[in-house]
Chain A
Amino acid sequence: MATTPVLPKLVGERVKRREDPRLIQGRGTYVDDIKLVGMRHLAFKRSDVAHGRIRSIDTRAAEGMDGVEAVFTGAQLAKLLGPMPIGTPFPSPPHYAVAVDVVRYAGEPVAVVVASDRYTARDAADAIVIDVEPLPAVVDPELAMTGRPTVIHADFPNNLAVALVPSGTGVGADGSVDDTAVEKAFAEADVVISQRMMNQRLVPNAMEPRGVLAHFEPGKESMTIWSSTQNPHILRTMIAAMTGLGQDQVRAIAPEVGGGFGAKINIYGEEYVAATVSKALGLPVKWIEDRSEAFVATTHGRDILGYIDVAARRDGKVLGLRMRLIADIGAYNMLLTAAIPTLTMLMANGTYDIPAIRTTLTEVFTNKTPTDAYRGAGRPEATYFVERAMDMLARELKMDPAELRRRNFIAADKFPYQTQMGAVYDSGDYGKALDVALQAANWKALLAERDAARKDGRLVGVGLAMYVEVCGIGPSSSLPTGGWEHSQVTVERDGRISATTGASPHGQGNETTFGQMLADQFGVPLEHITIHHGDTGVVKQGIGTFGSRSQAVGGTALHLAGGKVKAKMAKFAAALLEAHEDDLVFENGRIGVKGAPSSAKTFAEVAGYAYVPVPLPPGLDPGLSDEAFFEPANNTYPFGCHITMLEIDRETGEPTLLRVVAVDDAGNLINPLIVEGQIHGGLAQGIGQAMIEEAVYNEDGQLLTGSFMDYALPRATDFPRFEMHATVTPTPVNPLGAKGVGEAGTLGATPSIVNAAVDALAEFGVTHVDMMLRPEKLWRIIQGGPR
């Protein structure tokens, strides 16, 4: 008898990705790679001005061009498509996919062309003439809050999208505010640190711009919509609602998606327009975003101003924290816009036990591109504010920044830990992450190296930051879409396994990690498993991929569905083997009785029986397929510690990152190789924010950094080799113990780097410098000379 090869366990291993063979050969299918018979192309005419009243739109020249099928103005489209809904419970002004009478940011669509090819569509859009009466624009949120020089939405006086939401110590469920504890903390403090800090606006810039292909089939009355989205199921729900179709009549497909980073969560006007135009004309229509469009038309991230006050005793114990937040959300509320800054409030504790915290949040409309989620979404902002303030406190107290943090940590034996911000931190050991980081960076030697460099006249600084994240989002109470995830697992007739997941990857490698999990669960080769995702016609239910939830929520649903099928398969195998199901083992592609491997049946044999069950074992239905929804009881809270070393050129002010040491605790890991890649990517975006990225508007509301010529997207030469370390603190929230990791890198990077920069500039008496670390800004500080 041939011996069965012994299959290695795959969970926890650096398995190379199953997605890659198609992608490295250029065989991946992204939206723009799909062509349908009769397909037309859309191009949008967009506003050049940031704020203005549309007097007239002349579409005659465009309509007269060869190959132009139709042109719709905002007013014409509004008859077919209502204002767009948002996904948060905040009040929101009407927002049409194509502006009807007023434009409120440069780049807002004013008309759309349907044409035979993309060149003709673009030509026709350029031939549309818009007459706009300019209105004053406002780009500074603190100015906008005064209602001057303009009010962007008539029903929102002083441009307040969210007037003022308090949170923290002494805030009742009814919204009542008792400031006694916070005021006492500040009154009793030996030291108070106060700083205004800007968390600047960023452009997400997934390498694949957005794209959508909508195909309504008249007669069949059904819509198929391909989109570069992070969440096809949410897209299906919204497209159905907005086109008057049932959810059964809409199939949404996220094919290969070239990155998202939060900016492809939102359901966009262009998606609604494509669906509406396809339905109106009975033609498939495609729209592919240009990069120049993406800069203004895809949601931006961050743009939160923080006024931070920290009260502490001389021994370093933090007594109180005030965080007054002003979020500049741009011209409109998008799907999750208003909720993002609330996550900054939620995470105001950071890793610390702070007795009294008061946060307030105001959200302001300005004449800029709307904001929404961007990798980290609210948590990097909180981390930056808290960790910068802690560093300022350490500097004021002349205390080692690591020691100051250690004195304030939530102790490892306090978990689960209820914060006064409403979070329940699931598990953590912050001291351990700090220890590992200090050891990995060789902290004392690092400081000695810095000091030696300074003796040579070099400007070298060292920065440290802790972080705690919200991942595995989340319970349905925290998401308007529901917070569960869904999976269906099927053992096919030939014994191979198909599985679906509502997690919709765009680079996360779920086909690999989820395959690894099922391979171990069933004891079958990875090659015998196919993971389906991103297609609501195949994946029955789902929410999508954001908030670092794929593994913790989607992976758990898969695990639960797999468990159900495995249990049923054991019953069929038990009948076939005339054994008790509890005595069976699944290993090496076979199911057999423990200790009697020669009796084992192959998966194909057991599946063959399950699908032609003669005789049908009592109490069993035919088939091997089952599904599971997983509703997490809580979010997960990964954490870590990042240490960076940075040098600033005394002559030019140019900063260079010398070292990045990252310690990340994401709980149990399914595939450390993929986890490492996720952290690298987060670090790169965090470093980008700290050092070179910034969306800059002029006072007229023009985006000055509107292309890769002006917006500094990090290149390979911008980074040193990252030094990666981990601690492992499993979460009790799900049976995998996995917390999530997609956003982690963005949290530790910004504060650790700015802390390092301030350290490097210590001789000039600097206590804070806002991101990004533009050489000119640093050069001016250096020119100011020692104080």
Chain B
Amino acid sequence: MARISMTVNGKARKGEVEPRLLLVHFLREQLLLTGAHVGCDTSQCGACTVLVDGRSAKSCTLFAVQADGCDITTIEGLATDGQLHPLQNGFWEEHGLQCGYCTPGMIMSAVNLLNDTPSPTDQQIREGISGNFCRCTGYQHIVNAIQHAARKG
């Protein structure tokens, strides 16, 4: 077992984990942050996306021990002081989700996208979220949602 510590959504968290434990399972099973979802086992779907030191990362592709000492933000930590993040608002306003399973990862990827490209074109958005699958929406309302956030951000 390995001892790890990291900052998760602004709070210092510690854990004792098997070296093989995936970060997503540490977040979900030990910290009970179930917003990051597991939608595949080959790092394609992006449902588990979180921010690691401010950059989007697929938390099923990291071991928890690799995140030792890191600053993690999950979907649960995105709203501040009870105010939804502009992307959360955008997804709500533009019907950017249906079943909601891909949504936390999609939003976290979009945070990264807008950090890099604050005023993206539709095509830049489509490329920016191409590491995240959504089977419900056909992506059009997701593109609208991210544009909404880019305008309001």
Contact = CB atoms under 8 A, between A and B. Distances in A.
B39 A207 contact: yes
A676 B47 CA distance: 23
B42 A708 contact: yes
Interface stretch (A218-226, A241-249, A533-541, A711-719): A711-719
A16 interface: yes
A290 interface: yes
B85 to A, nearest CB: 9
Ordered nearest first, which 9 A-B pairs have the shortest CB separation? Answer: A26-B35, A258-B101, A23-B100, A507-B99, A507-B98, A684-B138, A26-B75, A680-B138, A708-B44
B107 A24 contact: yes
B126 interface: yes
A713 B133 contact: yes
Contacts of B88: 24-25
Interface string B47-63: 10000000000000000
Contact of A26 (B41, B104, B141): B104
A90 interface: no
Interface in A2-40: 16-17, 19-21, 23-30, 32-33
B101 to A, nearest CB: 3
Nearest to B20: A119
A658 B61 CA distance: 35
Contacts of A713: 44, 133, 135
Given A25-B75, A708-B45, A721-B122, A716 B95 contact: no
Contacts of B126: 715-717, 719
Contacts of A708: 40, 42, 44-45, 133
B31 interface: no
Given A25-B75, A717-B126, A259 B136 contact: yes
Nearest to A24: B88
A207 B134 contact: yes
A680 B141 contact: yes
B92 A715 contact: no
B122 to A, nearest CB: 7
B103 A24 contact: yes
Given A207-B99, A677-B95, A715-B133, 4 more contacts: A677-B141, A716-B127, A716-B132, A717-B126
Given A25-B75, A683-B138, A684-B137, A17 B44 contact: no
B140 interface: yes
Interface in B74-97: 74-76, 78-79, 84, 88, 91-93, 95, 97
A207 B107 contact: no
25 contacts: A19-B100, A24-B91, A24-B107, A25-B35, A25-B75, A32-B34, A119-B18, A206-B135, A207-B37, A207-B45, A258-B39, A259-B98, A291-B41, A291-B45, A507-B98, A684-B135, A684-B138, A707-B44, A708-B42, A716-B129, A716-B132, A717-B126, A717-B130, A721-B122, A722-B140
B110 to A, nearest CB: 11
B150 interface: no
A733 interface: no
A509 B75 contact: no
A29 B136 CA distance: 18
Interface residues of A, number: 56
Contact of B130 (A19, A257, A684, A716): A716
A208 B99 contact: yes
A561 B31 CA distance: 43
B75 A258 contact: no
A87 interface: no
B142 interface: yes
A674 interface: yes
Q: Which of B37, B91, B125, B140 has the most CB of A within 10 A?
A: B140
A371 to B, nearest CB: 18
A196 B20 CA distance: 51
A616 interface: no
A23 B103 contact: yes
A673 B96 CA distance: 11
B143 interface: yes
A126 to B, nearest CB: 13
B101 A208 contact: yes
Nearest to A17: B95
Interface string A582-616: 00000000000000000000000000000000000
Interface of B: 18, 20-21, 28, 33-42, 44-45, 47, 74-76, 78-79, 84, 88, 91-93, 95, 97-104, 107, 122-123, 125-127, 129-130, 132-143
Contact of A709 (B42, B92, B130): B42
A207 B95 contact: no
Contacts of A209: 39
A442 interface: no
B79 A207 contact: no
Given A24-B88, A208-B39, A719 B44 contact: no
B100 A261 contact: no
A748 B66 CA distance: 47
Interface in A659-715: 673-674, 676-678, 680-685, 707-709, 713, 715
B76 A681 contact: no
Nearest to A505: B99
A406 B125 CA distance: 40
Given A26-B34, A677-B141, A717-B130, A256 B135 contact: no
Contacts, number: 176
Contacts of B37: 30, 32, 207-208, 258
Contacts of A290: 41
A24 B97 contact: yes
A507 B34 contact: no
B102 to A, nearest CB: 5
A494 B138 CA distance: 41
A201 interface: no
A684 B103 CA distance: 17
Q: Which of B38, B40, B104 has the most CB of A within 10 A?
A: B40
Contacts of A16: 92-93, 95
A205 interface: yes
Nearest to B107: A24
B93 to A, nearest CB: 6
A760 to B, nearest CB: 23
A104 to B, nearest CB: 25
Nearest to B144: A721
A21 B92 contact: yes
A25 B101 CA distance: 11
Given A25-B88, A291-B41, A708-B42, A207 B76 contact: no
Given A24-B103, A207-B39, A291-B42, A681 B135 contact: yes
Contact of B139 (A26, A205, A508, A684): A684
A543 B135 CA distance: 24
Contacts of B134: 207, 716
A76 interface: no
A119 B37 CA distance: 17
Nearest to B91: A24
Contacts of A25: 35, 75-76, 78-79, 84, 88
Q: Which of B28, B127, B133 has the most CB of A within 10 A?
A: B133
A722 B28 CA distance: 36
Interface string A110-142: 000000000100000000000000000000000
B60 to A, nearest CB: 10
A30 B67 CA distance: 26
Interface in A477-512: 506-509
Q: Which of A26, A288, A509 has the most CB of B within 10 A?
A: A26
Contacts of B45: 207, 291, 708
A280 B42 CA distance: 35
A507 B143 CA distance: 18
Contacts of B143: 716, 721
Nearest to B21: A119
B136 A681 contact: yes
A481 to B, nearest CB: 23
Contacts of A28: 100
A418 interface: no
